[in-house]
Amino acid sequence: MREATAASPMTREVTTADVGCSFEELVRLVLDCGGELVGVLSRRDLLKLFLHEDDELRTTIRDDVFGRVLWVDQDTVEVAGGVVTLRGALERRSEAEVAEHLVRALPGVVDVRNRLECGWNDTAGIRQTEIFG
């Protein structure tokens, strides 16, 4: 009787995925047509899809969220290990909530600490679910 080794189920052919590959594409690479496992993706492999450099995240938040969406000059964004801290002042409370919501949705953001101050609470009486669904 032949002993089973780790090499027996392996092949020499290596299948790779591009950095921009979607999760669905990765799943297709790991499963063959019959749904049988043909490869392994580790947690670390999957996290690489979502992790970004802190400086890159800070620039994206400052330029895209505050600059292009909210049209405010906000230079008090701190990012450390994917944890984003928003500081400064905005005119309305709803802007601070939208900023936090948009930042949370960015790939690479682990958590958001919203320390934004607001001059006017325009959300009084409005439930969060009415704003974001």
Give mean pLDDT, residues 90-95.
91
Instruction: Order the strands of the 111-120 sheet from edge to edge.
Output: 77-80, 83-92, 111-120
Tell me: the pLDDT tens digits for 31-66? 655 666 666 666 666 666 666 788 999 999 999 999
99 falls in which pLDDT band (50, 70, 90)?
very high
pTM of the model: 0.58
Q: Could you tell me the sign of the dihedral formed by the alpha carbons of 84, 85, 88, 93, in that order?
A: positive
- Which part of the chain is CATH 3.30.1340? 54-132
| Cβ contact 65:95 at 8 Å | no
Class of domain 54-132 (CATH, top level): alpha beta
